Structure 1
Amino acid sequence: APLHPVMPALVEVYVNSILVINNKGSNEYFNKPITEEEIRKVFRNSIFGVNFDSQNKPFTPMETDGESSMEINIEKPTLASQLLLIYYLLLYEDVRLTNSATLIANGRKIKSYSSAFLSELPIKYLLHQAQKDQMSYGGLFSPLLRLLATHFPQLSLVDDWMDDQVFGDTCRHQVDVNISDSSIHEAFQCIEENPYKTGKILKAMLNKNPTDIWPFSEIFVRYFKSVLGDEVPRHIQELYREVWLRLNTVLPRCLWIMTINALLDINNGSTRNVTITQENVLVDPLQVLRCDIRVFRCGPILKIILRILEASLAASRSQLSRHLLDKPLLEKSG
């Protein structure tokens, strides 16, 4: 359904009513922000539901001041509702950071959405959907793109957007292969002895929509090191990279962390039983390079690592800017 042109303005008014201090300066005139749990309920019923399973994905909940969240019953959220929630979140953080010094000076304790929560949102994928249908969502696409470039530069890399456009315009011949965890496992078990079988499953994955193959992302990434073998044909490595790039259009930040952990150099004793997290990469983006040495001899996989490194450096710079805005230096009076 197309988006009503008034909705973005209403979201902006709502966000300002939460964060911007009015002339009367009384808390009774402030609205309450939407809780993370309420937002999670919407996305849990979408195609990304598995990533918002509260039993599998631990989030740091926002403080609710003793209030319980509203009961939300949504069978299947529309694209418009998801885009509006993304717009609300990005605009809320933008206004909060802009007014952070004023809010702290006035003694207001404000809520912020956790980085862990924001990192799980399908921001990039939803923005691409809005881009494809600008007749319906044109009024929201431009402000969303501005906020994305400001607060999530790692999701607005030029190379990523160009690749995504190519995937959207590419048509391949249909390959009649059943894709499942077991079929992917079998294909990669014989990648050196029978690369044709591996190539067939990779081509089948390329024929699917990115959201259709995302449920297999974990088992797919698990075989990263198998692709680095000396006997693996370059064609298979290129196909693997293409599938990875397609998955990168859905939940890129989740994919990056899975990739980094899959390629960790476990032969080094210091990296045994080590799991790299989103926070680790934000603090030290060079963690990305703690990978199997064979990566640097494999062109297609090295391109993936360099793409993740570029995004991680952008994310680290953005995180530093956010931290400085979150903790402003206030002048002491007197």
Structure 2
Amino acid sequence: MTNSTALVERRDTLRLTCSGPSPAEVRWFFNGDTLPIAVRLGLSPDGRVLTRHGIRREEAGAYQCEVWNPVSVSRSEPINLTVYFGPERVAILQDSTARTGCTIKVDFNTFFTLWCVSQSCPEPEYTWAFNGRALKNGQDHLNISSMTAAQEGTYTCIAKNPKTLLSGSASVVVKLSAAVVAMTIVPVPTRPMEGQDVTLTVHGYPKDLLVYAWYRGPASEPNRLLSQLPSGNWIAGPAHTGREVGFANCSLLVQKLNLTDAGRYTLKTVTLQGKTETLEVELQVARECAGGDGERGGLFSDKGSQKRGSAFSI
């Protein structure tokens, strides 16, 4: 007989009583083996009462008692004892196996999962918070479907054991990874002729783009602005002729080229993190009578113009 089959570690007392015919000797078993010496120290003088103050988790398991005399022996059915503890060592893992540090970096537009783990019996109840604001999520994991600047911040997991009434927490800071691909501009076709269309195709543009702008000439002169595309809205600038079209990937289409379209074009981008980058391309336009032997446009990056800062104003 037992006072309880479920106890809280270090707080509750276990009391087991073995009843049987007298006179008889009493022996105790734990998980099928003879009771360990440390546990036997809690036996009463007659061996029929086992008492454990401040029960420990390692003392959870199956208990049995056996009474015997020279002519017979009888063993009780096992009593299974559960010891509640925790939560302890609460931690946040990325993708269930990779242990995180204080900060993790995630690529733009990437799906990822944060897992909350702990040592606890029973399994704790979980709550999540983002920058101190509670999220509607009661699971041990949190899915982020598309990483953007809006998801940057501190994620906190709180684990609470409904039996011990204890809780623990862990936090991690999530940031966007820095762009690692160099941006380039390639005219397509590379040697356009007068009357043709050309696309100044941009490769490696920042995935966390906030706004971009194209200029015919240097970006330092506002009247050279061809167009800009902030948040998906097309805006024509003073230098726009009606033949230029911008795309979401930063590329610029110039239709029905004429000789005056030749020259330097400048692309300026600003990311959600406030990083500004400027890139230039020299466009060559061949005369129609040249038979397509126009020169290939040269590409180069204005290294000195790359800088961090707030979004530029046009």
The two structures have a TM-score, normalised by structure 2, of 0.21
Higher helix share: 1
Higher strand share: 2
